[in-house]
Structure 1
Amino acid sequence: MRAQRRPAGQPHLAPWRAGSARRGTRGRPPPLPALTPRRGPWCNRCVMAARTIELDPDRFDREELVPAAEALRAGQLVIFPTETVYGVGARADDPEAVRRLRAFKQRGADKPFARLAPDAVAALEPLAHVPPRVLPAARELWPGPFTLVLPQPGGASEGVRVPQHRLAQTLLRLAEVPVAASSANRAGEPPPTTAEQARRAVDEQVAVFVAGGPARLAQPSTVLEVADTRWRILRQGLLDAAILRPRLETLVLFVCTGNSCRSPMAEGLFRARLSELLGIAPADLARHGLLVQSAGVAAGHGASPSPQAVRVLAERGIDIAGHRSQPVTEALVQRAQLIVAMGPGHVHSLLSWWPEIAPRLMLIRDEGVADPIGSSEAVYRESAAQIEAGFDRVLDRLFGDALGRLVLRKRRRGEKP
Structure 2
Amino acid sequence: MSRRSPVASRPPHAEFMQVWEEGYVSTTASFTAMHMQGVAVFTGGELRRADGSIDRERVRAWIGRAAHPLPYARSRLQRAPLGLTPPAWVPVDELDLDTHLVFADAVETLAPARLRTLIGWDEGPLDLSAPLWRLRLTPLDDGRIALGILMHHAGGDALRTMKFLAALTASKLDGVPKSADDPFAGQRAARSVELPGLALRAWWSAGDSAGARVRAYLRKPVVRRARRVAARVTRRFRDQPAPPPTTHSGFRTFDGDAVQARGAELDGTMNDLVVAAAITAASAPTGEPVRVRVPVLRRATEQSRNRVTDAEIVGSALTDPAELVASVRAQLSGTEASDSERAAAREVGYATLVPWLSRARYLAGARLDEVVVLPASLPHDELSTFALLYDGKLSVTVTTQQQTDTSAVLDVLGDALTSPVHQSSSASPDAL
- Identify whether the pair has TM-score above 0.5, normalized to the shorter chain: no
Higher strand share: 2
Larger radius of gyration between Structure 1 and Structure 2 = 1
Please give the range of the TM-score, normalised by the shorter of the 2 chains.
Answer: under 0.3
Query: Which structure is higher in RCO with an 8 Å CA cutoff and minimum separation 6?
Result: 2
* Structure 1 length-normalised TM: 0.23
